[in-house]
Amino acid sequence: MSELKALLEKYVELEDKFSEDDEEKMEEMHQLGHEIDHAVYHEEFIIVYNKDSEDEEVVALIVSDEEDEHEEFFIPVYTDEEEAKKAIEFFSEGSDSEFGMDKAVGNNIVQAYSEDDEFLGLAINAPQFDFVIFSENVHDCCE
């Protein structure tokens, strides 16, 4: 299991037990969230793309309402091939599209979409896990 996946599981476990009155847990979650931000920056993820599109378009998860003028989206990324294969099965249901996998570093993915106002961030291991991290949170304090 990747270090990032372990951090995410720990965060979700803490979040399930979270109480606003527990300042110690709140601080622990904040620190863990900061570690996750750094890990995402450096993590090599698996991305899923549509092989059938002309330019092999990366799969995006649209989160906007139908009435919205803009289509805000997250790019789903995966911590390992098993998670990516589960996602491809999910995306393939009811679709004739063929999907492929590639690898990219978290910061590079965020940078590639940084000019797009509708890009919100990364959805890690979606739809199974659905942990989202907003693009402005992906950083490295050493830079």
Which one has a higher pLDDT value, 24 or 114?
114
The DSSP call for residue 51 is: T
Which pTM value belongs to this model?
Answer: 0.86
SS3 for 44?
strand
Residue 4 placed within a domain: no
Domain total for the chain? 1
Range with the lowest mean pLDDT among 42-46, 63-67, 108-112, 121-125? 63-67
Find where tokens 């990516």 sit.
84
Helix, strand, coil share (%) of the chain residues, nearest 5: 40, 25, 35
Residue 82 placed within a domain: yes
Average pLDDT over the chain, rounded to an integer: 88
Range with the lowest mean pLDDT among 66-70, 87-91, 134-138, 139-143? 139-143
Residue 27 placed within a domain: no
Residue 143 has pLDDT above 70, yes or no: no
List pLDDT tens digits, range 58-84. Answer: 999 988 777 767 789 999 999 999 999
Q: Which domain holds residue 62?
A: 43-137
User: Can you spell out the DSSP letters for 63-127?
Assistant: -S-TT-SS--EEEEEESSHHHHHHHHHHHHTT----EEEEEEEHHHHHHHHTT-TTEEEEEETTT
Q: What pLDDT sits at residue 81?
A: 94
